[in-house]
Amino acid sequence: MTNDTLATTSVPAATKPVLTAQNGVETPLFSTNLISPEVLAVLPPGYTIRPLHRSDFQRGYLDVLRVLTTVGDVDEDKWNQRYDWISSRNDEYYLLVVCDDAERIVGTGSLIVERKFIHSLGLVGHIEDIAVEKGQQGKKLGLRIIQALDFVAARVGCYKSILDCSEANEGFYVKCGFKRAGLEMAHYY
């Protein structure tokens, strides 16, 4: 999507009320009731997991994604536009972050919910963009992100969650409870 397209993209009406800041307190992208208490209980001391906030641009969210792939030139204005669009679709996009005790983002993952005609109008969760800052790897934060996203998927009614990964990462996802179920194909533009 080009910058011109981004600027002219209309924001669709949300199918649920958009969560907004009240009394100066920032509201998360989705309800914190969707964060697994079990996952919170087993995080290392000093860490928490929560929904993405609009202000997370300043907490290093994009830096964590750079561990995974190219992010590009995203300034705060572009971030805010994209965040607002995602927020307007708050029953489809569930982006969460792991923060350290300084509220710095050290990990992230996303669940995108697809609505199907098959399986009685079923919902499929697509797990995307799992990333943990290099200095924070080895603390099972990636596992906790996957577990938290699985919890969200189950709570919102998905009949399955799927993800794509490199063969090098297959072992990690098997440890997270996933199994090989096909072959990823891509057509890049």
pLDDT value, residue 7: 39
pTM, whole model, 2 decimals? Answer: 0.85
pLDDT at 88: 94
Predicted local distance difference test score (pLDDT) of residue 24: 57
Whether pLDDT at 19 is above 60 = no
Residues 6 or more apart in contact with residue 1 via CB below 8 angstroms? 9
Mean pLDDT score of the chain:
89
pLDDT band (50, 70, 90) for residue 172: very high
Which pLDDT belongs to residue 3? 41
| CATH topology classification for 3-175 | Aminopeptidase (3.40.630)
- In the chain, the amino acid numbered 52 is L
Give whole-number Cα distances, 158 to 10, 125, 152, in Å: 27, 6, 9
Task: Report the pLDDT averaged over residues 39-43.
Answer: 98
Please tell me the predicted confidence (pLDDT) of residue 73.
97
The answer to which of 8-17, 82-91, 162-171 has the lowest mean pLDDT is 8-17
Strands of 123-132's sheet, edge to edge? Answer: 48-51, 93-99, 105-115, 123-132, 158-162
